[in-house]
C-alpha cells in the first residue's frame, strides 16, 4: 500500500482523513503540481516549486511548506514507495474551516497539504511511438488558466468528449486560436520549420516542461497564438507536460499532420528533453 503525505504525516493511503468542510473539496479552493520522477529523482523540481509558490500567492494562501520542505517530502515519498519512474502529485487547499462559507477563513485555519506518488512508465510510452490524435474544443475555462488550480472539471469533460469522438485528447481554442491542451501545452512546427507556441499570458498554464524544452529546440521559435487552421496544416505538432514530456500529435480534427506519423524533429526533441531531465534531476 502507498504511503502518502498529509499535513506533515506519512501515512498509508487508506488512513488519510480530510474534513468535509475542506475548501478544496467544497470550492476547488486549491492549487496543485505534478512532478515527474526518473531514476528515483525529481525532474524540474525548482520550476515546479516556484510555480506552486506563484499559484499560492495569486490566490492568497500562505503558511505552506517551503522549497526545502517540499524536497524532503518528495524524497521521503519516493524512498518509502520505491518509485523509480512516475509522478508525485502535490496539492495545497485553503484548509478546513468549521462551516461552509464563501468568505475565506481566518488566517488561523491551516492549509491542507497533501502529496502522493504514482508509479508509472513515462519514458517507454506506446503513445509516444504512435502519436496523439486531438480534436479542438472551445476553451470555456475561467480567465486565469495561468494559476494551476484543481478546478479541472472543464478539462476533464473535454478530454472525455475527445475520447468519445474517437480521439485521445482535446486542444482548446478561443476565437479560433489554440490556447493549450486539456493538460498539456500545445506546439506546432510549421512547414517553414518554425516552432510556434502560445505566449505566456493568463490564457495558458506556464508549463514547466515547456520552459525546459524550448531551449533545446533547434528551430526558430515564435511565441504567438496559432489558429486551428494553421495547426491542421502544420508539418509537426506536439504537446509538453510533466508526465508526458514531449508527445507527438499526428492528427488534428481528422487532418493528418505531416505523414500522420510522429515527426522527426518532435522525436529528437522528446529524446533531448528526456536526456536533459535525467541529467538535471535531483
Contacts to ligand PLP by CB under 6 A: 34, 180, 183-185, 205, 207-210, 240-242
Nearer to ligand PLP, 188 or 208 (CB): 208
Rounded to a whole number of angstroms, the minimum distance from the CB of residue 207 to ligand PLP is 3
Q: For residues 6 and 91, is the Cβ–Cβ distance under 8 A?
A: no
User: Over the range 249-280, which residues count as b (16 or more CB within 10 Å of their CB) and which as e?
Assistant: bbbbeeeebbeeebbebbbebbebbbebbeee
Q: For residues 112 and 22, is the Cβ–Cβ distance under 8 A?
A: yes
Question: Grid coordinates representing 80?
Answer: 518509502
Rounded to a whole number of angstroms, the minimum distance from the CB of residue 11 to ligand PLP is 26
Nearer to ligand PLP, 244 or 258 (CB): 244
Q: For residues 52 and 33, is the Cβ–Cβ distance under 8 A?
A: yes
Q: For residues 39 and 54, is the Cβ–Cβ distance under 8 A?
A: no
57 annotated active-site: no
Closest CA to 244 of 136, 168, 190, 173: 168
Rounded to a whole number of angstroms, the minimum distance from the CB of residue 22 to ligand PLP is 22
DSSP 149: B
Rounded to a whole number of angstroms, the minimum distance from the CB of residue 135 to ligand PLP is 16
Burial class (CB in 10 A: 0-12, 13-18, 19+), 164: exposed
Rounded to a whole number of angstroms, the minimum distance from the CB of residue 14 to ligand PLP is 26
Residue of 41, 57, 148, 261 marked catalytic: 148
Q: For residues 29 and 146, is the Cβ–Cβ distance under 8 A?
A: no
- Dist. CA 250–CA 131, nearest whole Å: 5
- Dist. CA 57–CA 67, nearest whole Å: 15
Question: Grid coordinates representing 229?
Answer: 487552421
Nearer to ligand PLP, 207 or 262 (CB): 207
Q: For residues 33 and 79, is the Cβ–Cβ distance under 8 A?
A: no
Nearer to ligand PLP, 81 or 240 (CB): 240
Nearer to ligand PLP, 96 or 277 (CB): 277
Nearer to ligand PLP, 93 or 240 (CB): 240
3 strand-pairing partners: 12
- Dist. CA 51–CA 148, nearest whole Å: 8
Rounded to a whole number of angstroms, the minimum distance from the CB of residue 240 to ligand PLP is 6
Active site residues: 148
Amino acid at each position: 500500500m502507498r504511503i502518502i503525505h498529509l499535513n506533515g504525516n506519512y501515512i498509508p493511503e487508506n488512513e488519510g482523513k480530510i474534513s468535509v468542510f475542506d475548501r478544496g473539496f467544497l470550492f476547488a479552493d486549491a492549487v496543485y503540481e505534478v512532478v515527474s520522477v526518473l531514476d528515483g529523482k525529481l525532474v524540474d523540481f525548482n520550476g515546479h516549486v516556484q510555480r506552486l509558490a506563484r499559484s499560492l500567492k495569486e490566490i492568497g494562501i500562505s503558511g505552506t511548506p517551503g522549497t526545502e520542505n517540499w524536497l524532503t517530502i518528495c524524497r521521503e515519498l519516493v524512498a518509502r514507495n520505491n518509485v523509480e519512474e512516475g509522478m508525485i502529485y502535490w496539492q495545497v487547499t485553503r484548509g478546513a474551516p468549521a462551516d461552509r462559507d464563501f468568505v475565506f477563513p481566518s488566517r488561523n485555519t491551516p492549509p491542507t497539504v497533501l502529496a502522493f506518488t504514482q508509479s508509472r512508465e513515462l519514458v517507454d510510452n506506446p503513445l509516444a511511438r504512435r502519436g496523439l490524435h486531438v480534436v479542438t474544443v472551445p476553451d470555456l475555462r475561467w480567465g486565469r488558466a495561468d494559476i494551476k488550480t484543481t478546478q479541472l472539471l472543464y478539462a476533464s469533460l473535454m478530454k472525455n468528449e475527445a475520447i468519445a469522438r474517437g480521439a485521445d485528447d482535446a486542444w482548446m481554442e478561443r476565437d479560433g486560436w489554440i490556447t493549450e491542451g486539456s493538460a498539456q501545452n500545445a506546439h506546432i512546427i510549421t512547414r517553414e520549420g518554425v516552432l510556434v507556441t502560445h505566449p505566456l499570458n493568463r490564457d495558458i498554464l506556464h508549463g514547466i516542461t515547456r520552459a525546459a524544452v524550448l531551449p533545446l529546440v533547434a528551430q526558430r521559435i515564435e511565441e504567438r497564438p496559432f489558429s486551428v487552421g494553421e495547426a491542421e496544416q502544420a508539418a509537426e505538432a506536439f504537446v509538453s507536460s510533466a508526465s508526458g514530456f514531449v508527445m507527438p500529435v499526428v492528427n488534428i480534427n481528422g487532418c493528418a499532420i505531416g505523414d500522420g506519423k510522429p515527426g522527426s524533429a518532435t522525436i529528437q526533441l522528446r529524446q533531448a528533453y528526456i536526456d536533459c531531465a535525467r541529467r538535471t534531476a535531483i
